[in-house]
Structure 1
Amino acid sequence: MTTTSPRICRSASTRVLDPRALNRATLGRQLLLSRSSLSAEAAVEHLLGLQAQNVKPPYYALAARLEGFAPEHLSRLMAGREVVRIVTMRSTIHTHTADDCLTLRPLVQPARDRELTLFRRGLSGVDLDRLTALARELVETEPRTMKQLREALLVEWPDADPQALGIAARCRLPLVQVTPRGLWGRSGQVALTTAEHWLGRPAESAPTPETTVRRYLAAFGPASVKDMQTWAGLTRLREVFERLRSELVTFRDRSGVELFDLPDAPRPDPDTPAPPRFLPEFDNLLLSHADRTRVVPADLKGRSWQGNQAYCTLLVDGFLAGVWRLDEDALVIEPFGPLTKAQRAEVTAEGERMLGVMHKGSARDIRFGTVVRP
């Protein structure tokens, strides 16, 4: 991997990074240019968590990124309470390490407070401090489903909106999903308790915003202020970047937007090969920048979604190039455009590898066909 070392410059002549340069830099930090030897836990930490609205995506996300990964590696961490499933960034469920659960959740509390204001009308007459204490007592006595929690809170506030009561509990408390939910090859309904109770230790202070900016850039940079705000679901981060300006390098994208980065972070040559990768739905690679053209070509915007449904995505040469799904008997791949003979062979080989890692012993064909119609 060739790393460029541009001169630090903050004038109008600051180096411009085109989408391909941004693509290779981001893929390198996302462990998608070449598979990493990191452990599953170390990778979850480096990536600041894995999007986990469904159970399986974190497993597929690591399979694409790690050498020697097996689903049992992440499942054992979850069973051992070394990683957990919790609502954090963008008010969505993420798989985080225990340490990040106890720090990143407090970091995004302002976003949870803003979310709660949207349900003010349904919470008329509800003492939120009382609700927080009661909800904590309920879920720490025994894990509760959200339905059970809402019903118990309605006893105290019968005139409140049940949905709003549940959202208030989720916004005010760091509620984790207890196992067996989230374990590979297991099923289980969503039952909740507090992170402190599940992990056996108190929540920690939120990391300084500066610390989180550095970690974000290490995993997703180079990036703009708006990019990080999109990733975190937070606002007013400009002043944090300004405090860090003297220790960061800056670039511009083709639209003139200022991008920040760590001086020693890898920025591979734009011509660095990027092998095909099969990513799960909701992979953070596609969700963590305001401008997604570093991965999603402008003419393919919205092609990995249909209504509210997100599809598993295929990268070819580092960019979104198709979608895929697993049928009972086949891996079905739908490219968005023609593939060369060499690309088709590489995609097939990567698909065979993915099936071997994730579904060992289960025979499936690989077919090129239709997954979703535009």
Structure 2
Amino acid sequence: MTRRSVDWLLAARMQANCLARPVNEAGPGGVADVVRRMGGLQAQTWRGAAYAVRARSTATTHADVTYAQVTDRSVVRGWFMRGTLQLVAVEDAGPLLGLLGAKLIKDTERRYGELGLPERTRAAAADVLEEHLLAHGPCDRAELAVVLVRAGLIPQPKGQAVYALIRYAGILGRVCYGPGDTWVAVTDWLGKPLILEGDLEAVAHRYLTAYGPATARDFATWAGLPVPQARRAITSVATTSFEVEATELYAVEDLPGCQDVRMLGEFDAYLLGYQNRFQELPKSIFPGGGMLSPAVIRAGRAIGAWRHADLSTDLFEPADLTDELADLARF
């Protein structure tokens, strides 16, 4: 096991995370390539997902990201790793839900109980939602809330139970996001049902390819898996390991690292993909409450924050952002 520095680790992780911008294809193909390489991108906000694609490619545009999801349908937005909204390649959606879905539902049982949603209600709601979406196409939350009330599954069309039931149907692979803030039936939107069968070692290998060097706890944090299960998968696929500050990290490549400056959008996967980032994030980037603001990184280390509204920056270290600002305008 080779000893390495934190600086090397952060630069290597930046390169693995596609932040050297290896994707040069324009259009939806470029979007799908980024998403596929990453094993999925955070998509709590659509803007965050779009800017994550920009940071990893050189020719895609914001419109391409929407086109890839809405028209080309080579990527799909739904609930995957950790039960959070993600943008994943269509061919990965079924395997990921097959691996993670049961645990996501189990981890949410207490909340379902608080909302008065026993398993029989959730199962009936998944049927009702899918049938309505198959018959009527994309629907927003307000319309689906009325459908659930009319079916006698919830008492009123307000509150968190509506979203919880839509999300439950999504974890079952029956519902996903359509255009904007609407949902659709997966079999209609994608033309076929998802096959909920996955290979954990294949997901672990993809994780190390996109996030390594990393620990089993990092993989467990990213995926939402139990640590013992994550450890078995990671150690079975790793081809090399490194020691950084007395911590063993696994990898599938020994990367030289990326020294570039990159402006990341909110909720970027690079900063959310680890249990141990090996760096402290200031409150301007990580204010708490589950928020993760746009960040400027160099050689993998956070050196500032920025704002979407006016592209203003708050740098902790001097950096030349000319190229990045020009590319943000292009995107």
- TM-score under structure 2 length normalisation: 0.85
1:354 aligns with 2:328: yes
Distance 1:208 1:126, change over 3 A: closer
In structure 2, do the counterparts of structure 1 residues 105 and 122 end up closer, same or farther at CA, with 3 Å as the change threshold? Answer: same
Find the counterpart in structure 1 of residue 54 from structure 2: 63
CA gap of 1:107–1:147, structure 2 versus 1, over 3 A, is farther
CA distance in 2, matches of 1:240, 1:206: 19
Q: Find the counterpart in structure 1 of residue 249 from structure 2.
A: 259
Residues 97 and 273 (structure 1 numbering): CA distance in 2 closer, same or farther, change over 3 Å?
closer
CA distance in 2, matches of 1:82, 1:273: 28
Residues 209-288 of structure 1 correspond to what in structure 2 (within 5 A)?
A: 209-235=200-226, 236-238=228-230, 240-241=232-233, 244=236, 248-254=239-245, 256-262=246-252, 265-268=253-256, 274-288=259-273
Match of 1:29 in 2: 16
- For the residue of structure 1 that corresponds to 2:217, the secondary structure is helix
Alignment-derived partner of residue 333 in structure 1: 313
Which runs of 4 or more aligned residues in structure 1 lie more than 6 Å from their structure 2 counterparts after TM superposition? none
Aligned residues: 316
Instruction: Give the match for residue 123 of structure 1.
Output: 116
* Residue 157 (1) aligns with residue 127 (2): no
Structure with a larger share of its residues in helix: 2
Kindly tell me: are residues 124 and 352 of structure 1, through their superposed partners in 2, closer, same or farther at Cα, counting changes over 3 Å?
closer
After superposition, what is the alpha-carbon deviation per residue over 1:83-106, rounded to whole angstroms, capped at 9, x for unaligned?
221121122211122112232233
Query: Percent identical across equivalent pairs?
Result: 22
**Structure 1 length-normalised TM:** 0.76
Residue 176 of structure 2 is aligned to residue 195 of structure 1: no
Say whether residues 1:136 and 2:124 are aligned partners: no
Partner residue in 1 for 2:38: 47
1:209/1:126 CA distance change after superposition, 3 Å:
closer
Structure 2 residue aligned with 1:313: 295
Alpha-carbon distance in 1 for matches of 2:327, 2:128: 49
Question: What's the counterpart of residue 177 of structure 2?
Answer: 177
Contact 2:13–2:300 (Cα < 8 Å) also in 1: no
Question: In 2, Cα distance between the equivalents of 1:124 and 1:211?
Answer: 34
* Consecutive unaligned residues in structure 1, runs of 5 or more: 1-13, 182-189, 359-374
Say whether the 8 Å CA contact 2:222–2:272 is kept in structure 1: yes
Q: Distance in 1 between matches of 2:317 and 2:182?
A: 45
Q: What per-residue deviation string (whole Å, max 9, x for no partner) do you get for residues 187-225 of structure 1?
A: xxx111232321011212332111100011111111111
Q: Which structure is larger by alpha-carbon Rg, 1 or 2?
A: 1
RMSD: 2.5
